[in-house]
Amino acid sequence: MKIGIVGLPSSGKTTIFNCLTGVGAELDAQRSHGKGQEANLRQVPVPDRRLDVLTKMYEPRKTTHAQVQYVDVAGELKARDGESKGLDELLRHLRPVDALLHVVRAFEWAGTPPTPREDYERLEEEIVFADLMIVERRLERMEQEHKKGRKYDPEEHDLLKRAQALLEAGRPLRVDPELREAQKLRGYAFLSAKPEIVCLNLGEGMEEGEIDLELEQGIPLVGIKGAVEQEILELSPEEQEAFREEMGIEEPAMHVLIRESYRLLGLISFFTVGKDEVRAWTIKEGTTALKAAGVIHSDIERGFIRAEVVAYDDLVSLGSYGACQKAGKVRLEGKDYVVKDGDIIHFRFNV
């Protein structure tokens, strides 16, 4: 699962990327001008308190978190400026991502007060325009083919026409569930069809509630003090802890952001536990036990017999696997069982 960071220049994309990944990256639009575009790409463990609890319970040799990838690309998304240098490169990095993390400046920069609403809308317009360009190019080609008497897919043509009308009205494709999910449009990897999360990059004295920004329903908003968070990350782990305690910060803001992105992608975790490893595995909501087995290994999917399932809450409240067995909380589920977030699963299989 991959999340692409987008935002206007100097909105703090790289700063947020660094906070998310906890390591310093140096990449800015200026430095990479004319040098071709590079991208920062990093795996980030998804914070999950349940894993900490399971680790205490099982004392495994190894604990493995679920992972999400973040991509930070230098370069400006200026689709309307046809000549925009590096636009194709930028899009090449952004097309394959599963979701967008839109960073909006909410700090004063070089004496300029923040204008989050305008900034947000400006970039959204570029995203819509980048998709519209593709739709128009494709429609043109289809219509040429049609004139020459060649075949084209009328259903795809119809979907593209609808997409065009929506985009021309300045609306992102994600607001139309049918277009957003249309199998026939998959290959275009439209940016405005991707789920989005907005990160307000707040200045030191600012709070999320003071910021003037309205979002479409269903788009989560997370406020982060990017510069402050980055400073905290430069401290030692002990100092970080002490600092957070002092400031009354229960959990690093980044954890909230990472978890929100996971949720936004419709992802959940199930766990496997044992003395060797306690591990979180990522699946889409609605995945069956059989497919979940395949995430671990194709052999387990192929030789699937049963899934032995305990809910996380039951395991924690009863205190041990044995107690769950006694209390009848260990269920044997078949291959069509829909796995729930937090299920602890032992797969029975033979190969």
Residues that bind Mg ion (CB under 5 A): 13-14, 28
Residue 59 main-chain phi, psi, to 5 deg: 45, 55
Question: Rounded CA gap, 332 and 237, in Å?
Answer: 42
Q: Minimal distance in Å, beta carbon 29 to ligand GTP?
A: 4
CA distance 103 to 19: 13
Residue 41 touching ligand GTP (CB under 6 A): no
The nearer residue to ligand GTP, 227 or 296, going by C-beta atoms, is 227
Asked if residue 13 binds ligand GTP (CB under 6 A), the reply is yes
As given in the structure block, the two tokens for residue 8 are 């206007």
**Which of Mg ion, ligand GTP, none lies near 109, with the C-beta cut-off 5 to 8 A by kind?**
ligand GTP
Q: Does 21 bind ligand GTP (CB under 6 A)?
A: no
* Contact call for residues 258 and 44 (beta carbons, < 8 A): yes
Measured from the CB atom, is 82 or 111 closer to ligand GTP? 111
Q: What are 267's strand-pairing partners?
A: 284
Give the residue, chosen from 1, 4, 6, 7, that forms a contact with ligand GTP under the rule CB under 6 A: 7
| CA–CA separation, 330 and 345 (whole Å) | 10
**Cα distance between residue 32 and residue 72, in whole Å:** 13
Dihedrals φ, ψ of 277, to 5°? -150, 140
User: Which residues, numbered 86-125, are part of the site for ligand GTP (CB under 6 A)?
Assistant: 107, 109
Residues between 192 and 251 with contacts to ligand GTP, criterion CB under 6 A: 201, 203, 225-227
d(CA 32, CA 48): 36
The residue range among 8-16, 160-168, 184-192, 341-349 that interacts with ligand GTP, by the rule CB under 6 A, is 8-16
| Binding footprint of ligand GTP on the chain (CB under 6 A) | 7, 9-15, 28-30, 74, 107, 109, 201, 203, 225-227
